[in-house]
């Protein structure tokens, strides 16, 4: 009798099966609820991140200090901890340097041509088009006339944001036009460089601009006008090897990288360790390549003093340099500058006039 009351094994298994299934369903529901909760939290966190503006903090290249962008901009893009000078866009440079409302831009419609139909990952023409849309300017060089503390000057400023401030046909042409404009009006030229060098997309045509810009500055010098170059971080390649190094006065900002090839390439070629601070402005002034290192906050005042020397406020000019027997510019150059012709016409007429000079 007692044996008949004990449940059989198959009956116990039948009773346990519904309980196990119920438990599995309960665990699945709990897991589903937990997953939904995590999903909501993840979506909430992601949406909050999307609402936050990007680029609020920047890392200093020199001291690795994190800097609040607004604080950096208020300090003229100079690191408040180590005084490293960040690259300054051309428009911001103009705003901080010249007298308010005095800048008039020249030759802003000169555009690059893809003569070689160069293509790497993206066709050169398409790359130029994208860069123009992103930066709002048609080339890497911005030039025009302005006053610095009341002293009239021709300005030419390379913008690193436009394809690394590289020098192609248009940059070389605009440097030459700026020099001709200065010769015509009897003004000094101030050039700010920030460049990776010659533009590889234009091949040998970009290298030709090295000779062209040096020749334009030589003519400016012969006419008795002063040229000043301010090398900023970074100034390298064909720009360093041409017009940036042949001006009458060469200044640099603190800590600027200045050279032809990069330090890593030189170290790999020489197979030896380079000196500390190699190719920085402090290293180069000790070697005699620079005339002075001027902090950004002092640049406006220092340039005004240099322009006073050019105007004869502090020194007497040699009258033979500005003889009336030889005009500063030829007739074709004068006509092109006066007429303010379209950029496709003016450079051609200027080239013809210069070749006859």
So where are the chain's domains? 2-50, 53-84, 87-356
Residue 352, number of CB atoms within 10 A of its CB:
14
Q: Has residue 290 got a pLDDT over 80?
A: yes
Q: Has residue 13 got a pLDDT over 80?
A: no
Contact 251, 229 (CB under 8 A): yes
- Mind giving me the DSSP string for 94-142? HHHHSPTT--EEESTT-----TT--BSSSBHHHHHHHHHHHHSSSSSEE
Which of 49 and 292 is assigned the larger pLDDT? 292
Superfamily the domain 87-356 falls into: 2-enoyl-CoA Hydratase; Chain A, domain 1 (3.90.226.10)
State residue 11's pLDDT score.
Answer: 56
The whole-angstrom separation of Cα 257 and Cα 190 is: 20
State residue 27's pLDDT score.
Answer: 73
User: Which percentage of the chain shows pLDDT scores above 90?
Assistant: 62
Summarised one tens digit per residue, pLDDT across range 25-40 is 777 677 676 766 666 5
pTM: 0.75
Contact 320, 295 (CB under 8 A): no
pLDDT band for 295, please (50, 70, 90 cuts).
very high
Q: How far is CA 74 from the centre of its chain?
A: 19
CA dihedral angle for residue 150, residue 151, residue 155, residue 157, rounded to 10 degrees: -60
């Amino acid at each position: 009798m007692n044996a008949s009351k004990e449940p059989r094994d198959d009956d116990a298994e039948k009773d346990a099966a519904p309980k196990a299934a119920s438990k599995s369903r309960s665990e699945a529901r709990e897991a589903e609820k937990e997953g939904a909760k995590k999903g909501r939290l993840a979506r909430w966190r992601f949406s909050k991140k999307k609402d936050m503006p990007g680029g609020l903090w920047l890392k200093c290249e020199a001291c690795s200090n994190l800097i609040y962008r607004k604080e950096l901009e208020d300090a003229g893009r100079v690191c408040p901890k180590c005084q490293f000078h960040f690259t300054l866009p051309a428009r911001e440079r103009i705003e901080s340097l010249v007298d308010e409302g005095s800048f008039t831009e020249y030759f802003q419609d000169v555009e690059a041509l893809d003569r070689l139909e160069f293509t790497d990952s993206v066709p050169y023409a398409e790359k130029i088009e994208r860069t123009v849309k992103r930066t709002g300017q048609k080339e890497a060089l911005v030039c025009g006339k302005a006053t610095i503390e009341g002293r009239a000057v021709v300005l030419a400023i390379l913008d690193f944001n436009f394809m690394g401030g590289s020098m192609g046909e248009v940059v070389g042409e605009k440097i030459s036009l700026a020099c001709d404009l200065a010769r015509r009006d009897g003004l000094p030229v101030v050039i700010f460089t920030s460049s990776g060098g010659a533009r590889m997309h234009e091949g040998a045509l970009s290298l030709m601009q090295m000779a062209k810009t040096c020749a334009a500055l030589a003519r400016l010098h012969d006419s008795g006008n002063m040229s000043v170059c301010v090398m900023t971080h970074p100034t390298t390649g064909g720009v360093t090897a041409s017009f940036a190094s042949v001006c009458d006065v060469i200044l640099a900002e603190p800590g600027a990288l200045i050279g032809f090839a990069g330090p890593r390439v030189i170290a790999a070629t020489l197979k030896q360790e380079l000196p500390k601070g190699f190719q920085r402005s402090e290293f180069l002034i000790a070697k005699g390549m620079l005339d002075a290192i001027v902090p950004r906050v002092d640049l406006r005042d220092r340039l005004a003093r240099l322009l006073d020397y050019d105007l004869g406020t502090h020194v007497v000019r040699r009258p033979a340099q500005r003889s009336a027997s030889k005009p500063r510019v030829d007739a074709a150059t004068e006509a092109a500058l006066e007429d303010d012709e379209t950029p496709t016409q003016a450079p051609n007429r200027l080239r013809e006039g210069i070749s006859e000079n």
